[in-house]
Amino acid sequence: MYQIGMFSKINRITTKTLRHWDELDLLKPDRVDDYTGYRYYTTSQLPRVHRILTLKQMGLPLNEIKEMIDKNEGIDLYLRLRELELEVELTRTKQQMTQIKSYRKRIKGDSLMNYDPIIKSLPGVIVASMRVVIPEYETYFDIVPKMGEEMGRQKAVCALPAYCFTIYHDGEYKEKDIDVEVCESVVDFCEDSDMVKYKRIPPVKQAVCILHKGPYSTLREAYSFAFTWIRENKWETVGNPRESYIDGIWNKDDESEWLTELQIPVEGSCC
């Protein structure tokens, strides 16, 4: 039989730890002297100590360790869940490392440091939709007002906060003959017309998003950066890119102040 000090040395754990385990009923002393209050342990308790330490080194909390040991069942399930947690953490850590390396490379001389990509989800929405092939970007200034007029005739009510975006069905940046779907989120469905139809767009779990400030004619830079970043950071595009219009001709006279968010659905090893 060993006093607490000797037992702690044998197991290379502190007496404070043993007292804490005692308070949790995780490892009670074999005997406590009524007169001195000294705690005594026996060699028969060593297997339990080793099991506690083994599970603790796996990152399991003491309350779960106690439950597992006391019930002596469900250990495999607990460990499988912990294994899955660690796999997610490891994947997330690897993804963060890749992003850090990419960002450091940009700091060392990339001229596009004004772009700071983030990964976020995109909400599912009901939209008024108009799909057309436009000859060039400037055509927006003609077709979008007409879409708004048609939505007014249909008595469509725009959702708040506003979410106006364009989906590019070509899957890449083009300057001519662009297959676009202009979308405006609305509170409910309305009757379709030849020009404007109503549909539900499902949520997107993950999308690479970057903010571009300036005229639409310079969006080429944003697309070039975004797809390069996606490739370097080992993501894979899984949907058509969107442009979400935050500031534009409707509220900013200076086109250099226009703000557009490029949104590209992705998936990768961290999903």
- How confident is the model over 41-57, as a mean pLDDT? 89
User: Is residue 98 scored above 50 in pLDDT?
Assistant: yes
Give dist(CA 112, CA 232) in Å, integer: 15
Give the pLDDT score at 84: 80
Query: Is 107 in contact with 113 (CB distance < 8 Å)?
Result: yes
pLDDT tens figures, 136-192? 877 877 888 899 999 999 999 999 888 999 999 987 777 788 899 999 999 999 999
User: Is residue 93 scored above 50 in pLDDT?
Assistant: yes
Instruction: Provide the CA 52 distance to its chain's centre, in angstroms.
Output: 34
Task: Please give the residue that has the higher pLDDT: either 121 or 84.
Answer: 121
pLDDT tens figures, 237-259? 998 999 999 998 889 999 889 99
Give the pLDDT score at 234: 84
pTM: 0.61
220 pLDDT band, cuts 50/70/90, is confident
Q: Do the strands 259-268 and 204-213 form a parallel or antiparallel pair, or are they unpaired?
A: antiparallel
For tokens 């890119």, name the residue: 241
Query: Is 126 in contact with 197 (CB distance < 8 Å)?
Result: no
17-21 long-range Cβ contacts below 8 angstroms, 24+ apart: 21/52, 21/62
Residue 210 DSSP label:
E
Task: Please give the residue that has the higher pLDDT: either 80 or 223.
Answer: 223
Query: Is 143 in contact with 132 (CB distance < 8 Å)?
Result: yes
Give the pLDDT score at 102: 64
User: Is residue 206 scored above 90 in pLDDT?
Assistant: yes
111 pLDDT band, cuts 50/70/90, is very low
Give dist(CA 113, CA 134) in Å, integer: 31
